[in-house]
């Protein structure tokens, strides 16, 4: 027999379809979503405005499963990292970053990551599987339950490539932005991708969330090394897809993420190349000081080189910020999330053999 349906896997449309199949009315599905996400009630017997027959059917045929919180680890700067264990003993991480007027939750979309970006600690762990919609939205449920109004924004920038888990990610985003659930405006949810171009075009019609792109190089030769998906979807394909994503709204911009690697991608000439590359795209550029991890061959660009790179981009008219490193004392900073991955890609084994 198949496992009972996890109610957290349902967005509004799926909840309406379920309750109709069980003999109730579509609005009961909307009420179900409100109980689960807006009110945080997981026991269907306590959902008092659902018909008794529906509650009984839901109790018999469904379940609600939350990941187990293995530990909560606060950083000195107020950042908090959670390690979550899934039913198959895989572990993922999520991070909350508090600021003066907002609190941002960074959620994972996969166990590990298959894209193998060379500067990312998550990628070095290999890849096991996609998260289900319920496992994605459960991260928001847990954080909202613990943080309350401190949670104002969500970024899909944790473990994994969100567009490689397209259907589950879109369903979870639907709940994040649904007025019956988490009521996060679409400007408060951002998806970060390394650039799976066909899925970018699909996302444009499926969701209106903010778009961040892991760029990290101004030319194909270097990006092929840093972000291997570029070999399949080079800049000649990626840049038009990103331009199309924001084309219908003049207020929107693509956020380009650019990790600063000493003597690799931080020269004045590379800054000029980046200006030329992005000249036709409404853009914001986020320079990210590299966060080291054990075994990496990269070093962080010096503050002087990062500032000089920023000045050149600003002089060309780009909004350019330097991301403040948060949570690095508990390995919660950008590119440091590792969780616990039972690696089906055998990447860890291959690396061990290569260095033996």
Given the residues 106, 113, 117, 334, the one annotated as active site: 334
pLDDT, residue 11, reads 96
Residues (pLDDT < 70) of the chain are: 1-2, 326-356
**Domain 68-355 sits in which CATH superfamily?**
Aldolase class I (3.20.20.70)
| Single pTM value for the model | 0.89
The reply to whether 93 belongs to the active site is yes
The reply to whether 106 belongs to the active site is no
Buried b (16+ CB within 10 A) or exposed e, 148-164: eebbbbbbbbbbbbbbb
Which residues are CB-neighbours of 129 under 8 A, at least 6 positions away?
A: 90, 110, 111, 344
Fold of 5-63: DNA polymerase; domain 1 (1.10.150)
Q: Could you tell me the sign of the dihedral formed by the alpha carbons of 199, 200, 206, 209, in that order?
A: positive
pLDDT in tens, 132-159: 999 999 999 999 998 877 899 999 999 9
Q: Are 290 and 300 in contact (CB under 8 A)?
A: yes
**For residue 158, what is the DSSP state?**
S
Q: Where are the domains of the chain?
A: 5-63, 68-355
Given the residues 93, 135, 161, 257, the one annotated as active site: 93
Write the Ramachandran bin of 317: left for phi over 0, alpha for psi from -120 to 50, otherwise beta.
left
pLDDT, residue 335, reads 46
Single out the residue of 258, 317, 246, 320 nearest to residue 282, CA to CA.
246
pLDDT, residue 120, reads 83
Contacts 24+ apart (CB under 8 A), 18-24: 18/62, 19/54, 22/54, 22/57, 22/58, 22/61, 23/53, 23/54, 23/57, 24/50, 24/51, 24/53, 24/54
């Amino acid at each position: 027999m198949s496992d009972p349906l996890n109610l957290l896997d349902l967005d509004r449309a799926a909840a309406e379809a379920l309750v109709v199949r069980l003999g109730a009315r579509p609005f009961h599905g909307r009420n179900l979503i409100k109980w689960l996400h807006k009110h945080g009630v997981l026991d269907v017997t306590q959902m008092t405005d659902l018909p008794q027959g529906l509650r009984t059917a839901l109790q018999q045929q469904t379940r609600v499963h939350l990941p187990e919180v293995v530990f909560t680890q606060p950083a000195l700067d107020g950042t908090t990292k959670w390690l979550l264990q899934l039913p198959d003993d895989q572990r993922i991480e999520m991070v909350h970053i508090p600021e003066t007027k907002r609190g941002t939750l960074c959620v994972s979309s996969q166990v590990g990551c298959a894209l193998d970006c060379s500067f990312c600690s998550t990628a070095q762990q290999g890849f096991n599987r996609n998260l289900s919609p319920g496992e994605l939205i459960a991260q928001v449920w847990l954080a909202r339950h613990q943080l309350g109004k401190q949670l104002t924004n969500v970024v899909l920038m944790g473990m994994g490539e969100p567009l490689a888990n397209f259907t589950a990610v879109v369903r979870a985003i639907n709940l994040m932005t649904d007025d019956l659930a988490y009521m996060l405006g679409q400007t408060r949810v951002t998806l970060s991708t390394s650039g799976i171009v066909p899925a970018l075009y699909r996302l444009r019609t499926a969701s209106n969330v903010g778009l961040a792109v892991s760029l990290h190089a101004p030319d194909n030769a270097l990006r092929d090394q840093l972000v291997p998906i570029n070999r399949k979807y080079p800049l000649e394909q990626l840049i038009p897809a990103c331009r199309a994503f924001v084309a219908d709204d003049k207020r929107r911009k693509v956020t380009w993420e650019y990790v600063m690697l000493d003597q690799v991608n931080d020269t004045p000439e590379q800054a000029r190349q980046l200006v030329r590359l992005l000249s036709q795209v409404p853009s914001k550029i986020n320079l990210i000081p590299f966060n080291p991890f054990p075994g990496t061959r990269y070093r962080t660009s010096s503050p002087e080189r990062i500032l000089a790179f920023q000045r050149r981009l600003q002089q060309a008219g780009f909004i350019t910020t330097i991301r403040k490193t948060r949570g690095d004392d508990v390995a919660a900073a950008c590119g440091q999330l590792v969780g616990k991955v039972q690696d089906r890609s055998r990447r860890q084994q291959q690396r061990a053999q290569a260095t033996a």
